[in-house]
Each structure stands twice: as C-alpha cells, then as structure tokens.
A and B are shown apart, each in its own frame.
Chain A
Amino acid sequence: MTIGKQTVAVIDYGMGNLHSVASALSHVAPEQNVVVTSDPAVVAAADRVVFPGVGAIRDCMAEIKRLGFDKLLREQIATGKPVLGICVGMQALMDHSEENGGVDCIGILSGKVRFFGENHTDSTGAHLKVPHMGWNQVHHNDHPLWVGIEQDSRFYFVHSFYILADDASQVAATCDYGVQFHAALTRGNLFAVQFHPEKSHTAGLQLLKNFLHWDGRN
C-alpha cells in the first residue's frame, strides 16, 4: 500500500509575505507537500492548516471576511485536523482586538487583544519599546508541540498588541514583557502562537516540525 504525501496548506489572504513560513515548513519536513493557497478546496483537502498573518488587524479581518475564511477556518477546525495560527493569525482567532480603534475578530477563541501602550514600562519602571521586537523567553506547558524544546527557550516576536485568553486551560505558553501575556493558546486540534516560529531558529523549527507530526490531540 502506498501512503500519499501529507499536505500542509498555508492560507494566503493577501496579508504579507508567506515565503518564510512556507520555506521553514519545507525545510523541517521535506517529505511533506507545502502549499500556499487562497483556494478553500485546497485548504479543505490538506492534512494540516497554517493560518499566518502580519500587518494591521482591520485590514486582515476585512480580507478574511471578504474571502469567507472565517467560516472556512471554523469548518477546518471542526474536522479535527491540526491547525496552527501564527502572530496576527492568532490574534484574528480571538473575539476582539483593541487595534485600529476596536475590531471584532473571528471569535474561535475567547479573549482580548490589547495594546502594550504608549508608555509601557517593566516592573522597575524602565521604559519598554513598542513593538515588542526580538527574542523573548517563552514559558510553556506540557503539550506535544513543545517536545524537544527547552523550557524558557527564546522565540522571535514582533507585535504591539498582546493576547489575554479568558480560559486559563487554553494557555499553552506565557511570555513577560512588562505584562505577562499568552504567547501560545491551544484548544483540541487548534494551536496558536504569538511569536514567529519560522524566524525562531532551532526552537521555532522544532515547533513547526512537531506541528507537522501532530495528530491534533493533546
């Protein structure tokens, strides 16, 4: 019996550059088929789905809704196949974002997306730059996507808005930048990260590899 190549679909909704996500996925799993697509049929046929995103949430949500990808994502998550949200892709999964004067998001995960603030400081009162840009430590729980990744490893972040989920049982990792925020969330076959695994060197590539071998169960 021949087993077909597994396929991972990277959803393209015109927001930013998907080259690095696709090339990192191909790098860690050359035996899998990586497709960047905006075709719902291709997404539906894939074994796994990656939902990235960069830029402003208002523009992202406008495109997601125009293309019907909010409905598509709900359907794909309901099939039980592994789905990975990255950065603004993760933020779009929440209920609401403070960005752009307030934008309703897809609402697959319950929680808010908040601004770090103009005068963001750490516990000593020292000024913190916004966006939160660079390598910060991620404190993770026990989940198949963290296998082979040391506790408190550093990942690459670029964001001005952070997530606080309502349901503590969905928090897969936290990060501290003046405020403790949720750097990764999970619910069943859905996993979402605020950082960029495709830009996070060894630790990030390991997480992508884990995702591509994940069956969607905890």
Chain B
Amino acid sequence: MALAKRIIPCLDVDNGRVVKGVQFLDIRDAGDPVEIAKRYNQEGADEITFLDITATHEGRATTVHTVEKIASEVFIPLTVGGGIRTVDDIRTMLNAGADKVGINSAAVFNPDFVKAASDRFGAQCIVVAIDAKKVSLAGEAARWEIFTHGGRKPTGINAVEWAIKMAEFGAGEILLTSMDGDGTKKGYDLGVTRAISDAVPVPVIASGGVGNLQHLVDGVTEGRADAVLAASIFHFREYTVPQAKEFMRARGIEVRL
C-alpha cells in the first residue's frame, strides 16, 4: 500500500476553448473544456489542471464560468493557473470551485505573494508553477533558469534554488514545466525534474513534452516526480487515461485504477 503517482491531464484554455500549441505557437483547437474535463473525470484522471492563457479581461470572466461548470460536475481536485496575480484572483478561483491555484510569473515578480497566499488560504491550495529552460552549454554542469512570459523572458534565477525557496515560502506543490520540452513530444527534461524533486520536500508535478506513455513512466522513475501532467496526448485521443495508468502499472508504478 502506498500513495499512487498521479496522472493529471492539463487543459490550456483560451477564451473558453481548449487549445494546445507547440512551444506556445501554432495553437490547435481541442474542444470544450467542460466536456473534456468530464471525459477525463470519467476515465479516472487523478486531478485536472486548467491553465488559462486568455489575455483579455472579458475572457477572464468566461474562465470563471468555465471553472464553475467544471467544479459542479467533476469531483476530483481541480487546479486553476494562469494570470493569478492577487489574493483576490485566488479567492475568485477558489470560490468558483478550484481546489488549488497555480502561481507563476507573479511569484517571480513578488515572491512574498506566495507567502501571503499560503498564509491566507493554506499551502494545500498553493501550487507554484515554474517554467524552466536549460542554460548550461554542452560540457558544462547542467543548469536551468526560470523564464517568464510563456518562456520568452529569462530571469537569471536558478530553477532548483527557486523551487527550494518557493517551498519555504509556502508552496504546497511545484508544477515544473520544461520549456525546452513543452509541446515537442520528446519527453520531460528528466534532469531538471529529478534535481527539483530531490531538492524540495513538497510534491513535484512534471510537465512539458509528453509524446508517449513511456515519457510518463520516465517522469516518475528517472525524474522522481510525484505526478505527471500531459495535454495533447489525451486531448487528441492518442492515448486514454486508463491506457496510461495500465502502462505505468505494468512497469511497477503504483497508480489508482
């Protein structure tokens, strides 16, 4: 008996539609978020992550309604990230039915925001999302940095040190996205996943680059992640959640079937 490794389908949502880009470009429409979330729930997903990439203010109101609809029909944990900048943003999403919120750029600009959020709402609902990119050259010791603005802006911050700091500031969980891998289907960056998983006391979700089921296994066994997140392999029905779980179970990983 042990804690199961979690499989988390991720919905990237823009103006009320699920989309998926390749390295934040070339966005493909993947459908209605409520319908997709219900399907994942029925298939036995362990959680759902909803990433709002809507840029406009009007679009944000749509997001709140979508979260409300999902939360009233899906009885597994729901994380909402994207554009969370204030305590009010967090309250709005929790009241809409989110169980956790993902904080990304706002944490980089103001790390104390994570502290304030964790004190106010509890570490259990504060997920700090980290977008990391490898900056070391071939032959150098591996080094990763935090990037903001969808991977466009370097910050000079060491990703592993940042993850440790965020856990100390009250993050209950780290959502680690490898910007090199995101959308490429070449698999997670296992180096940074393992470095952060080993460095922080809180659970780590691996994200960015899943193209097949072996990548999920690698994220857990080599990356030592507690949970694995994927988007397009599930949206476009290349694989179902039960197939993913069966595949992982057959390779000795404890999953919830």
Contact = CB atoms under 8 A, between A and B. Distances in A.
Interface string A122-143: 1000001111111111010000
A176 B75 contact: no
Interface of A: 16-17, 19-20, 23-24, 27, 54-56, 118, 122, 128-137, 139, 152, 154, 156, 158-160, 176-177, 196, 198-201, 204-205
Given A20-B75, A131-B202, 4 more contacts: A16-B125, A27-B75, A135-B4, A159-B124
Interface in B79-134: 94-99, 121-125
22 contacts: A17-B97, A17-B98, A27-B72, A27-B73, A54-B121, A130-B202, A131-B123, A131-B124, A134-B46, A136-B4, A154-B4, A154-B256, A156-B76, A156-B77, A158-B172, A160-B123, A196-B77, A198-B75, A199-B77, A200-B75, A201-B44, A201-B75
Contacts of B5: 134
Contact of A129 (B44, B73, B121, B201): B201
Nearest to A118: B201
A177 B1 CA distance: 9
Interface of B: 1-6, 41, 44, 46, 71-73, 75-77, 94-99, 121-125, 172-173, 201-203, 226-227, 256
Contacts of B71: 19-20, 23
User: Shortest 8 CB-CB distances between A and B: which pairs?
Assistant: A55-B122, A17-B94, A135-B256, A158-B124, A135-B4, A154-B256, A137-B1, A129-B203
A117 to B, nearest CB: 10
A135 B6 contact: yes
Contact of B97 (A23, A139, A177): A23
Contacts of A176: 1-2
Contacts of B98: 17
B203 A134 contact: yes
Given A27-B75, A199-B99, A204-B75, A122 B2 contact: yes
Contacts of B77: 156, 196, 199
A54 B203 contact: no
A135 B97 contact: no
B6 A134 contact: yes
B209 to A, nearest CB: 22
Contacts of A135: 3-4, 6, 46, 256
Interface centre among B71, B97, B99, by most A CB within 10 Å?
Answer: B99
Contacts of B122: 16, 54-56
A177 B201 contact: no
A159 B41 CA distance: 23
A23 B203 contact: no
A137 B6 CA distance: 14
A197 B6 CA distance: 17
